[in-house]
Amino acid sequence: MDFSPDPRTAALTEQVRTFVHDHVLPAEPVLDAQLAASPDEWTFRPVVDELRATARAEGLWNLFLPSERGAGLSNLQYAPLAELTGWSTRLAPVAFNCAAPDTGNMELLTEFGTPAQQERWLTPLLEADIRSAFCMTEPDVASSDASQIGTRIRREGDEYVISGRKWWSTGAMSPDCRLLIVMGKTDPEASRHRQQSMILVPRDTAGVRIVRPLTVFGYDDRDHGGHAEIVFDDVRVPAENLLGAEGGGFAMAQARLGPGRIHHCMRALGTAERAVALAAERARTRSTFGVPLSEQGVVRQWVAEARVELEALRLLVLKTAWLMDTVGNREAMTEIQSIKIAVPRAVQQILDRVIQIFGAAGLSADQPLAEMFAGARALRIADGPDEVHLASLGRAQLRA
């Protein structure tokens, strides 16, 4: 057993850390200003393009993608880099072309796409020329139960016809988003996990209707393309737009989730680390009743508990990544569920406490904390609520 990173990971970690501190964090107020200047747009702002150019020049590009079209890093190697992007979830992931949902979509296209699909969609995504969305969640059902999906994908001759209603299609409000990967049922009569398929739908296809943006707490996440509700009203696409095989949708969704969990969890840990750093700075410089916050028992306790939890959870995520790399997602199921349950919950509480250290400023946009909190809170629901994973993990543990 060896807890030291390999040399390439160590070097990349330092490089990304420096980049985040030198380029990304200073770009946040620039983004705020650009957002305020064009409050009604859903596109990326100019500062993003500048960051991307700089990152790419440094070779920090598509770090998430294990294949030779990406950086070729294992999950274990990418994990500490993902953590660092969590210091600025608004800007760092896009700077390195490592932002969800494009990452998962690029993985799908890499693994399951035909050469034609890859040429049309994967290449421009890898170049960051376009963006994409993943349309799985539906308003009318508990989407953690894939068997409830209502969207239908019917074969009609050389075409598939898609009808249904999706929401929380992240990024899809943006005109930069050109591709929707849609999950639906091709065969409602098949066995539970063979009913679903995925299909590629250009966002400008007839019958695709972007209904409205959704908000998370009060945030519309406009700079990331927001979260869309979308109606598919007998949308027709050529049969070759099917991704993978009919009935393979559930398995592909599961495959997509594994690395996504590592990314989400590591980013969340990075977010918490930034919050703790902000808390420490605040605590050193603010006093109540004549005593610096840094000398107050409850503040010390919170910071100590945060440190303990972050260290333990980081190791758990790294081990999960290592298991995925060495024995595969299926063998790492317990750990993949574990990090999905434990990390967002812990990060939410850390953020809640750091907000409390900041007082009212922590609730406002003067600090990144409230928006961070909204993001961590949403993670407890995304990809299925904690409770579904707890029940599933508990059931497995209780089996003889």
- Touching its own copies, residues 330-369 (CB under 8 A): 334-335, 337-338, 341-342, 352, 355-356, 359-366
- Restricted to residues 136-155, the positions that interact with its own copies (CB under 8 A) are 137, 139, 142-145, 148
Give yes or no for a contact between 226 and 171, defined as CB atoms under 8 angstroms apart: yes
Scored b (16 or more CB within 10 A) or e, 125-162 reads bbebebbbbbbbbbeeeebeebeebbbbbeeeeeebbb
The helix or strand, by DSSP H or E, that contains position 180, with its residue range, turns out to be: strand 177-185
**Least distance between its own copies and beta carbon 69 (Å):** 25
Compare residues 91 and 125 and give the one whose CB is closer to its own copies. Answer: 91
- Restricted to residues 55-114, the positions that interact with its own copies (CB under 8 A) are 76
**Least distance between its own copies and beta carbon 340 (Å):** 10
Span near its own copies by CB under 8 A; candidates 48-56, 95-103, 123-131, 295-303: 295-303
Give yes or no for a contact between 15 and 24, defined as CB atoms under 8 angstroms apart: no
Compare residues 74 and 114 and give the one whose CB is closer to its own copies. Answer: 74
Compare residues 115 and 290 and give the one whose CB is closer to its own copies. Answer: 290
Strands 287-288 and 291-292: antiparallel
Question: 235 pairs with which residues across the strands?
Answer: 162
Q: Which residue in 301, 328, 330, 331 binds its own copies (CB under 8 A)?
A: 301
The DSSP result for 299-358, as a single string, is HHHHHHHHHHHHHHHHHHHHHHHHHHHHT-TTTTHHHHHHHHHHHHHHHHHHHHHHHHHH
How far CA 278 is from CA of 30, 87, 172, 355, in Å, comes to 20, 11, 32, 10
**Least distance between its own copies and beta carbon 3 (Å):** 5
Q: Which residue in 31, 173, 370, 376 binds its own copies (CB under 8 A)?
A: 370
Compare residues 25 and 141 and give the one whose CB is closer to its own copies. Answer: 141
Span near its own copies by CB under 8 A; candidates 13-21, 27-35, 240-248, 301-309: 301-309
Residue type, 344: P
Gap between the Cα atoms of 273 and 276, Å rounded: 5
**Least distance between its own copies and beta carbon 366 (Å):** 8
CA neighbor of 257 nearest in space, from 394, 144, 171, 373: 144
The reply on whether position 377 binds its own copies by CB under 8 A is: yes
Span near its own copies by CB under 8 A; candidates 25-33, 93-101, 203-211, 310-318: 310-318
Span near its own copies by CB under 8 A; candidates 18-26, 98-106, 195-203, 218-226: 218-226
Tokens 């591709």 belong to which residue? 179
The reply on whether position 394 binds its own copies by CB under 8 A is: yes
The reply on whether position 29 binds its own copies by CB under 8 A is: no
